[in-house]
Chain A
């Protein structure tokens, strides 16, 4: 799976329209799911999904150097596009700072990244389970729903700074767990 998506992105970088079409068929359900979770509006998610593939088409040549696994790169573009749509209230298919950051070459392949790509999802979810319920909900809310600190704080009924302290502590705990 990993290699095939890799290959398709490489072909898209060569402006192979057939490869884009196949990449869409293979990945659009996940990327649409991500856009829909964040935007919570079908029409907006449909528009965002188009923007996602336009970005992929335009910037596939930057993928090869960045060291992310292919699905992670696609997921990151989908999230960034949906979150930017959500926060700016309008669409744009230019690369955001987040996309550009992802396009920068990584310092080198990281063993952690490779381990994840080969399927350690359960371990990661296990580490999430070690977090307190409310903190876990905040991490998921930020990542899957694209919620801001202000929204997370409001949802939990705590001051923003408290939420930020919670979340940072949760992230460091998560990191420690992942490194075990």
Chain B
């Protein structure tokens, strides 16, 4: 324990009670004030927190999937629902390293219920989709993707493929397995590619994985997800 010389036995007892959550009201406020003045008290509280945390060793209960959906919706708005995509990916063994892409959708209401999603535009009409930044947790790679209704324009903005690997672009629609779109042998020179027409139903997510040179064997992703982003209609981003 930290610096017993700097606290009275009474204060040491209060620190333990505080860490247990047993102090309430004025007593709690008083102790918090004392703790701000006295680093030894704070250190004592921290030590107790570390000790008591061990008591949770056997405590665990997986929350239902809806809790995460609600949380992300509450925090980031209605279209932050790449969850189905995540779950789909785990089926092909990719989920472990996944992070959700930073796709920013402005002006959508953040609330307990999903914002009304406008009716889909028929695929035969020109439609612009954007993934403003494709990225993944812990990864350096960044891409910007714009689909203008005809072709997908993919621009590499940061990062590189691991040595001896090629990057490969995938389209994931809803719960369907990832569809190989292109092997990106040279990220600095990516040709425009076409997506299926009409576009598949459901949330459209672009993902970039690293694969053996030449691309994934048998068209099934085998590498880690290095970047991903949800394609959203451009008018949802800038309206």
Residues of chain A at the chain B interface (Cβ within 8 Å): 7-8, 11, 16-22, 24-25, 28-30, 32-34, 36-37, 45-46, 49-50, 53-54, 57, 66-69, 71-72, 75-76, 79-80, 83, 87, 97-98, 100-102, 104, 106-108, 110, 112-113, 116-117, 120-121, 124-125, 128, 139-140, 142-144, 146, 148-149, 167-168, 171-172, 174-175, 178-179
Q: Are B71 and A50 in contact, with the CB atoms below 8 A?
A: yes
B71 touches A116 (CB 8 A): no
Is B137 a contact of A107 with CB atoms below 8 Å?
no
With A24-B71, A107-B43 already in contact, the answer to whether A167 and B22 are too (CB < 8 A) is yes
By a CB distance below 8 angstroms, the chain B residues around A21 are 68, 72, 86, 99-100, 137
Bound complex: CA of A7 vs CA of B135, how far in Å? 17
Query: Which A residues touch B54, using CB under 8 A?
Result: 116, 120-121, 124-125
Residue among B42, B47, B61 making CB contact with A101, cutoff 8 Å: B42
In the complex, the 4 A-B pairs of residues with the closest C-beta atoms, listed nearest first: A18-B99, A107-B39, A18-B137, A33-B61
Is the CB–CB distance between B67 and A139 below 8 Å? no
Chain B interface (Cβ < 8 Å from any Cβ of A): 1-3, 9, 12-13, 16-18, 20-22, 24, 28-29, 32, 35-36, 39-40, 42-43, 45-47, 49-57, 59-64, 66-68, 70-72, 74-76, 80, 86, 98-102, 135-138
The dominant DSSP class at the B interface is helix
In the complex, what's the smallest C-beta–C-beta distance from B87 to chain A, in angstroms? Answer: 11
Return the chain B residue nearest A98 by Cβ. Answer: B21
Q: 27 A-B residue contacts at CB 8 Å?
A: A18-B136, A21-B99, A24-B68, A28-B63, A32-B60, A32-B63, A34-B56, A50-B71, A75-B49, A76-B53, A80-B21, A102-B46, A104-B42, A107-B39, A113-B46, A113-B47, A117-B50, A121-B54, A142-B21, A143-B21, A146-B21, A148-B24, A149-B22, A168-B13, A171-B17, A172-B13, A172-B16
